[in-house]
Amino acid sequence: MSLLIVRISRDWDTLCYTAGFDTVGDQWQTVRVPFSSLKSIFRARTVSDAPPFDPSNIVSLQAHFCSHFLLLMFSKFEFDGKLNPTFVEGAFKLPLSSIRAYLKEPITPRFVHLGSTGVTRLDKPGLDLSKQPPAVRLNKELDFMLTFKLKGEDLIRESGIPYTIVRPCALTEEPAEADLIFDQGDNITGKISREEVAQICVVALESPYASGKTFEVKSVVPFSEPFTVDPQNPPLEKDYNVYFKTLKDGITGKEILEQDPVPV
């Protein structure tokens, strides 16, 4: 049995929180240690009246490394004087590839990024710029705004953090509740209410169906038609999860740019 020992003190001989796990020789394993499995231990003895483990201290492990310790060891003993039945004398090694926090399922986004449509269109073959929004036509004049927006998106997608990337079309001051079109691949143009986009972002934070998704969204109402809501007959409240469930992982609009060229 190997032991994971978390200490939250400058002193060595103090209360610690510990979890044990068995390893298999010459095999990589993923070991998950829920906070609830940590036992309060002092000098290898269980402390039944110790305060409960405070997960917030794990956060300070990185920020205050000088006063917090994370210790892994291979022990001949388990807790309260019991022997480790798998212990074998001799050389011992426990290589680690990474130590990180993990999230309980279902995983919901921890980061919702508000971008914009058009970020992948600049180099698409056959694109008619005259039919594109001003930000696409004038990307160079706008100091390559869309280029850097895409770089920001890529960093988020590569970070490993559960995310949602929302790309609204042109934002308006019109009320929410118009019918919507959710799309992927960075192809649509149109308009959408700022209020509606804010509601989408808030719901996405708690939706496992939105995690890992990049998508565009617009209203079905054309630019030339204003959208209003009759206060005497308001539309039904939307369930954005219905839209999120239709989205696919890994679609960003860059796919066509990354295809191998067709030989001539």
Higher pLDDT, 98 or 240: 240
> Do 71 and 184 belong together in one domain?
no
Output phi, psi for 63, to 5 deg.
Answer: -75, -30
CA distance 8 to 60: 9
Is residue 124 in some structural domain? yes
Does the pLDDT value for residue 233 go beyond 70?
A: yes
Three-state DSSP class for 158?
Answer: helix
Does the pLDDT value for residue 240 go beyond 80?
A: yes
pLDDT of 151 reads 96
Domain assignment of residue 34, given as a range: 2-81
> Do 219 and 177 belong together in one domain?
yes
pLDDT, tens digit (0-9, with 9 covering 90-100), for 166-207: 999 999 999 999 999 999 999 999 999 999 999 999 999 999
Is residue 163 in some structural domain? yes
Give the pTM.
Answer: 0.67
> Do 141 and 237 belong together in one domain?
yes
Does the pLDDT value for residue 260 go beyond 70?
A: no
Is residue 252 in some structural domain? no
Rounded mean pLDDT, 18-40: 83
> Do 77 and 139 belong together in one domain?
no
pLDDT, tens digit (0-9, with 9 covering 90-100), for 40-66: 888 878 998 988 887 766 532 322 223
Reported as type and span, the H/E element at residue 163 is strand 163-168
DSSP 108: -
- Quote the distance between the C-alpha of residue 64 and its chain's center: 25
> Do 155 and 212 belong together in one domain?
yes
Q: What is the mean pLDDT of the chain?
A: 84
Contacts of 33 (CB under 8 A, 6+ apart): 4, 19, 21
> Do 232 and 129 belong together in one domain?
yes
> Do 76 and 117 belong together in one domain?
no
What is the count of structural domains for the chain? 2
> Do 166 and 70 belong together in one domain?
no
Q: Got the DSSP string for 36-103?
A: GG-EEEETTEE-TTSPPP-THHHHHHHHTGGG-EEEEEE-SB-GGG-B-TT---S------S------
Is residue 21 in some structural domain? yes
Contacts of 40 (CB under 8 A, 6+ apart): 15, 16, 17, 46, 47, 48, 50, 51, 53
> Do 133 and 175 belong together in one domain?
yes
Higher pLDDT, 135 or 67: 135
Among 252, 113, 258, smallest CA distance to 185 is for 252
Is residue 220 in some structural domain? yes
Q: Are 251 and 185 in contact (CB under 8 A)?
A: yes
pLDDT, tens digit (0-9, with 9 covering 90-100), for 67-121: 344 455 666 777 777 887 777 787 777 777 877 777 777 889 999 999 999 999 9
> Do 145 and 74 belong together in one domain?
no
pLDDT of 59 reads 35
Is residue 88 in some structural domain? no
